[in-house]
Amino acid sequence: MSPEWQGNISKAFSNRSFVIGLTITVLLALMAALSLVWTPYAVGSFDILGKLKPPSAAHWLGTDHFGRDILSMIMVGSRNSIAVAFVSVVIGAGVGVPLGLWAAARGGMIDEALMRFNDLVFAFPALLSAVMITAVFGPGAINAIIAIGIFNIPVFARVARGAALSLWPREYVLAARASGKGSARITVEHILPNMMNLLVVQGTIQFSLGILAEAGLSYVGLGSQPPMPSWGRMLFEAQTMIGMAPHMALYPGLAIVITVLGLNLLGDGLRDILDPKMRRERS
Amino acid sequence: MLNYVSKRVLIGILTLLAASIVVFIVLEIVPGDPVRLMLGINATEDAVQALQQQMGLDQPLLTRYFSWIGGLLTGDFGKSYTYSVPVLNLITERIAVSLPLALISLFLSTIIAIPVGLFSASRRGTLADSGTMGIAQIGVAIPNFWFALLLVYVFAVSLRLVPAGGFPGWNAGLWAGFKSLILPSIALGLPQAAILARVTRSALLDVLGEDYIRTARAKGLTRRKVLYRHALRNALIPILTILGLQFAFLLAGTIIIENVFYLPGLGRLVFQAITQRDLIVVEGVVMLLVATVILVNLLVDLSYALVDPRLRGRS
Amino acid sequence: MSLLEIKGLKLRIGAFEALKGINLSVKSGEIRALVGESGSGKSMTALSIMQLLPGGAKTQGQILFDGVDLLTTSEADMCRSRGNDIGMVFQEPMTALNPVKTIGEQVAEGIRLHTGASRAAAEEQTRAILDRVGLPTAQFPLSRYPHELSGGQRQRVVIAIACALKPRLLIADEPTTALDVVLQAQILDLLQSLVHEERMGLLLISHDLAVVADVAHSITVLRHGEVMDNGETTQILTEQTHPYTRQLAQASMHVPERTSHHSGQATTNGPLLAIRSLSRTYPGRRKGFFGRDGDFKAVDDVSFDIKPGQSTALVGRSGCGKSTLARMVLALEKPTGGQIHFAGRRIDKLSQEDLRPVRRNMQVVFQDPYGSFNPRHKADRLISEPLFLLDRDIPEAERRDRVHRALERVGIPRTDKDKYPHEFSGGQRQRLAIARAIITEPKLIVADEPVSALDVSIRAQILDLFADLNDRLGVAYLFITHDLAVARAITDTVMVMSDGKIMERGKTEEILRHPQSEAGRALVSASPDLHKALARRIGEQG
């Protein structure tokens, strides 16, 4: 373990944002994992007689218009949110980071081409990509993943490129070049490891944005489809019942807010802990 | 100055061109035969052929692309298959709702966020600062369409202060139209304001750590004067960057929010078009929105040059 | 009565005691130097006077300015004093000016703030002061932005801001550290004459005794937040009664002992490094779609030889092309013309793969002991990086042996090889950088300002190490430096570079004593030199 990490761990647990964020995130992950083996009620079980019930001892968060248990649906829905956000971060980082590193290492035309590619992708917010994909292929959770993932690519490419450009003129990179190392090797040994902090923080931010974007897409019907429960879809269904059963809208929304808040706090905390600006050794 | 500006404009045009190719490929080439996709399997051969001809599908690809682009430039977006009216008419009708909504929200979020960011940055580390930023932190996490639902529940369903949704049309009077955009604008603008306030604060704090701030203080300027005269202008670049990115999200948000309030805007148009597989309408709306995002990013790039003399180059 | 009288000033930042009760005074018309190495608390003293300390700093004692204690003065009153009664000049001219405001605005701002002058009147005053600091408005209109000025010019603007209202006390915190020696001499000159004209008091902060010896009337030596020595300049420097003052003075004049000079040793083998008509041209900035600025010749038709074991200095002002030249020698940058021969072989056209045997014999030491190491690797891995250049994979035992040997040679205990860079001090890191450079037992080491970021006492030790390695290993050096003291200390020959060209070259002693070229004379006369300064002072006093 590098000394940086040893120092960081003690610093991490005195950082309030990090601790709260990590707690929320871990609880959420546990809830999603638990839903794989157990939920209070089966999410497929309809109970027309017990529909639109406000929260009670039997149904902690009440039931929806089909009498389904809202807590169980939130639990199962979390899997959907996490999966979509996670895979789109993986797509974004997996494609974007190598692109950014490559552009920074080569410079010139390749760098220029990457910047223009970024401009192009930035012109397509995830919603617009999803609209196009759905118009052609029909709706589905996979659309959301692709649309959000594509939008993540330039984000990671830009972060990786910027960080790499600031690392290349460093004297230790020059020393490595004077030791005959090629740009691929230097990128792996010196550039990438020294930007991991930034990438982890950006990953957290994109993860939370992914949760929000997925909720938005499934709310307008461009994301996961029934019967798979998703938080955005639950809010869509709650909309027509808002007068009769406001709890249907309240809890899935709160689930989104708490999840995103937790991830953002985690990201803020990580940035405070890892930010090279705040741990400048020289001053 | 001309150097930077002309380069940006050129890049904007090229991006737009590339984006149009992407849209064309996804919506006209990937589906194979868009007509069969639009009409479904049960369509009669006659109907298929008629539409194919109308869309010019018998032409070679390049010709189709250029006639499409040529059409867009002259305001001919094609004809909607479901409505049998020119797409341009549909769009202009709907944009009268979407554009005001986006602009009001942008305005709202900016006039809230920048003062809040300044307030917080000037009181760094105080209770007021952490309180404000705590609220902003929560604001960032709130999905705008859920916030919209809550607003509808409180102000329309419970308090009955405003209509829960729908749009009377601008013909019903400016105020009537505006009134139905109030809740949607708040729902869109407030979460955006939270993001922008955080960015403003952190951009200001970054700048306040710079050497030239110390020079200004050594000149005898008070903290407050330094904040307004030296820090704010330098912090504008990151703020403008986020503002530009926000606009893209705001457009997407507009499309989603319109569904909560049953507003007849571009969002409703595009979702109906998707269900009816009216690709021509989808194509027109997407292209318009993409062009708007590119234009806004170009404006942001150009405004950098106004803020930062280093980008203007030697005159 | 003194203009400024600091009595028992203590400063605490968190748990750190930055100042432990210092006393200091500055009279009107007096130049008081405050000298100390990094961490001595000299900048904190300046910020305490200005009351611009970082948050969380706690002060105790008294700072009497004109009899008024600044520590108890309200912030509003301080704002009235700053820039009006007390001006301050900072170290880093590149960042001290607001990039989005014109120099005219920035100078006029203080004038208008304190005098309430009209825009036109303030502008008139701004012109006058800019003219006074050597930026006549005819050449430097008020509408210039900082990025359109060079470092030296920016420092003049900062001085104009500080002196616009003729403050009674001027504080200059390392005002010339970021500048080359010629600019340093000009700026010190300017400060000296401004102070003389207006009878200001000047508190001149520096890390180098040699810099202040020429200009200061009196010196206060600071170390770890305590005053070590204090008195009139000539007396302090000639008597050197305080051991720390003596240590600083000696370090500043230090010349390592070198037993054998290798310069003539291997004449039969021909030169180790032969540079022939080497050039590097950068295309000019694009203007619009068609026009371009003229090309910039960073290195212009340069030729020279370095013999095996010879230690050569390449001196010149910043921007003269010396670093570009070094990078081309190291094959980190491609020349646009000319040839580089190393050990009899032409290397400027070789592929990266063919360069490996060359690189093995040619290593590098950089300026910044903090930036030279990947913070995530341990010393062991860091210094063995060049072993990558060997043709064969060496067994672990041999690698370890080599690491140990290299560490031993630079005087770092073997046990430290498992430490990370941040666990070493600046001087130790520079030793590590040297260990990395010698691990492949190269024939040439290119060192780019290897001691200019170090405190004087550490600098002396590192210079000793370089001299020692030259003696023991017979390695040749190409030293890139703007500091003639470094050249004098450890090189046999000197080349003076200016505007991309080599103006003159010859034996170090001769060139430093009798420079022939204009560039050489400018460098020599501007270089701070404790001996010369003292000789002059004593001569003046008779």
Q: How far apart are CA C271 and CA C338, in angstroms?
A: 17
Beta-bridge mates of residue C64: C5, C69
C-beta separation of C29 from C199 below 8 A = yes
A136 and B26 in contact by Cβ < 8 A? yes
Between the alpha carbon of residue B181 and those of residues B164, B220, B263, C231, C485, the distances in Å are: 11, 48, 9, 76, 74
**Statement: residue C268 has pLDDT above 60:** no
Closest CA to C151 of C125, C195, C121, C183: C183
* B282 at A interface, C-beta within 8 A: yes
B chain contacts of residue C90, beta-carbon cutoff 8 Å: 211, 214-215, 218
Token code pair at residue B291: 């062009």
Tokens 């919209």 belong to residue: B148
C87 and B218 in contact by Cβ < 8 A? yes
Q: How far apart are CA B58 and CA C399, in angstroms?
A: 72
* pLDDT for the residue numbered A49: 82
H helix or E strand, kind and range, residue B106: helix B87-122
B chain contacts of residue C76, beta-carbon cutoff 8 Å: 222
Q: Which of C381, C385, C432 to mutate to test the interface with A (most CBs of A within 10 A)?
A: C385
Between the alpha carbon of residue B267 and those of residues B76, B97, C483, the distances in Å are: 20, 10, 68
Token code pair at residue B220: 């005898």
Q: How far apart are CA A104 and CA A90, in angstroms?
A: 21
Residue in C closest to A169 by C-alpha? C371
C-beta separation of B262 from B166 below 8 A = yes
Q: What is the pLDDT of residues A72-99, one digit of tens each?
A: 999 999 999 999 999 999 999 999 999 9
Between the alpha carbon of residue C176 and those of residues C50, C169, C258, the distances in Å are: 20, 18, 31
C-beta separation of B26 from A136 below 8 A = yes
Alpha helices in C361-507 (DSSP H): 379-383, 396-410, 426-438, 456-473, 484-490
In single-letter form, the type of residue at position B5 comes to V
Question: Is 3.40.50.620 the CATH number for B88-311?
Answer: no
Chain C residue set in contact with B, beta carbons under 8 Å = 50, 52, 55, 75-76, 79-84, 87-88, 90, 92, 95-102, 106, 109-110, 113-114, 145, 147-148, 158, 161-162, 285-289
Q: Which of residues 210-239 of B touch C (CB under 8 A)?
A: 210-212, 214-222, 229-230, 233-234
Residues 6+ apart with CB under 8 A from C121: none
Q: Which of C410-419, C424-433, C482-491 has the lowest mean pLDDT?
A: C482-491
* pLDDT for the residue numbered C529: 84
* pLDDT for the residue numbered A65: 83
Domain segments of chain B as ranges: 2-73, 88-311
Q: What is the pLDDT of residues C113-136, one digit of tens each?
A: 999 999 999 999 999 999 999 999
Closest CA to C81 of C157, C193, C171: C171
Q: How close, in Å, is residue B248 to chain A by CA atoms?
A: 6
Q: Which of residues 423-452 of C touch A (CB under 8 A)?
A: 423, 433, 436
Best CATH choice for the domain C311-325+352-533 from the list 3.40.50.300, 3.40.50.10860, 2.40.10.340, 3.40.50.720: 3.40.50.300
* B6 at C interface, C-beta within 8 A: yes
B chain contacts of residue A249, beta-carbon cutoff 8 Å: 146, 149-150, 153
Token code pair at residue C480: 């890139």
Q: What is the pLDDT of residues C478-495, one digit of tens each?
A: 999 988 888 888 899 999
Residue in A closest to C447 by C-alpha? A175
Residue in A closest to C384 by C-alpha? A179
Q: How far apart are CA C369 and CA C360, in angstroms?
A: 22
Domain segments of chain C as ranges: 311-325+352-533
Q: How close, in Å, is residue C331 to chain A by CA atoms?
A: 8
Geometric angle at alpha carbon A57, from A53 and A61, rounded to 5°: 50
Strand pairing category for C201-206 and C31-35: parallel
Which chains touch C (3+ CB pairs under 8 A)?
Answer: A, B
**C-alpha torsion sign, points C241, C246, C248, C250:** positive
Geometric angle at alpha carbon C229, from C211 and C182, rounded to 5°: 5
Question: Is residue C508 very low, low, confident or very high in pLDDT (cuts 50, 70, 90)?
Answer: very high
Look at residue C59 and give its three-state secondary structure: strand
C-beta separation of B248 from A121 below 8 A = no
Q: Which of residues 21-50 of C touch A (CB under 8 A)?
A: none
Nearest to A132 among B249, B255, B282 (CB): B282
Give the ipTM: 0.89
Residue in C closest to A281 by C-alpha? C422
Q: How far apart are CA C167 and CA A139, in angstroms?
A: 73
More confident residue, C447 or B245: C447
Q: Which of A174-188, C59-73, C181-195, C245-259 has the lowest mean pLDDT?
A: C245-259
Per-residue pLDDT 10s for chain B (315 aa) are 467 888 899 999 999 999 999 999 998 888 777 777 777 777 788 888 887 787 777 788 889 899 899 999 998 888 887 888 899 999 999 999 999 999 999 999 999 999 999 999 999 889 999 999 999 999 999 999 999 999 999 998 888 888 778 888 888 888 888 888 999 999 999 999 999 999 999 999 999 989 999 999 999 999 999 999 999 999 998 899 888 888 888 888 898 999 889 999 999 899 989 888 888 899 999 999 999 999 999 999 999 988 888 887 643
In single-letter form, the type of residue at position A17 comes to S
* pLDDT for the residue numbered B44: 82
Q: Which of residues 212-231 of C touch A (CB under 8 A)?
A: none
Q: What is the pLDDT of residues C372-398, one digit of tens each?
A: 899 889 999 999 999 988 877 889 999
Token code pair at residue A198: 């930034």
Per-residue pLDDT 10s for chain A (283 aa) are 455 566 677 777 888 889 999 999 999 999 999 999 998 888 877 788 888 888 988 888 888 888 889 999 999 999 999 999 999 999 999 999 999 999 999 988 999 999 999 999 989 988 999 999 998 888 888 999 999 999 999 999 999 999 999 999 889 999 999 998 999 999 999 999 999 988 998 999 999 999 999 999 999 989 888 888 899 999 999 998 888 889 999 999 999 999 999 999 999 898 888 765 443 332 2
Q: How far apart are CA C167 and CA C80, in angstroms?
A: 12
C chain contacts of residue B221, beta-carbon cutoff 8 Å: 79, 83, 109, 113
Between the alpha carbon of residue C152 and those of residues B135, B145, C93, C185, the distances in Å are: 47, 56, 8, 11
In single-letter form, the type of residue at position C73 comes to T
- As a whole-number percent, the residues of chain C with pLDDT over 90 amount to 70
Q: How far apart are CA A82 and CA A74, in angstroms?
A: 12
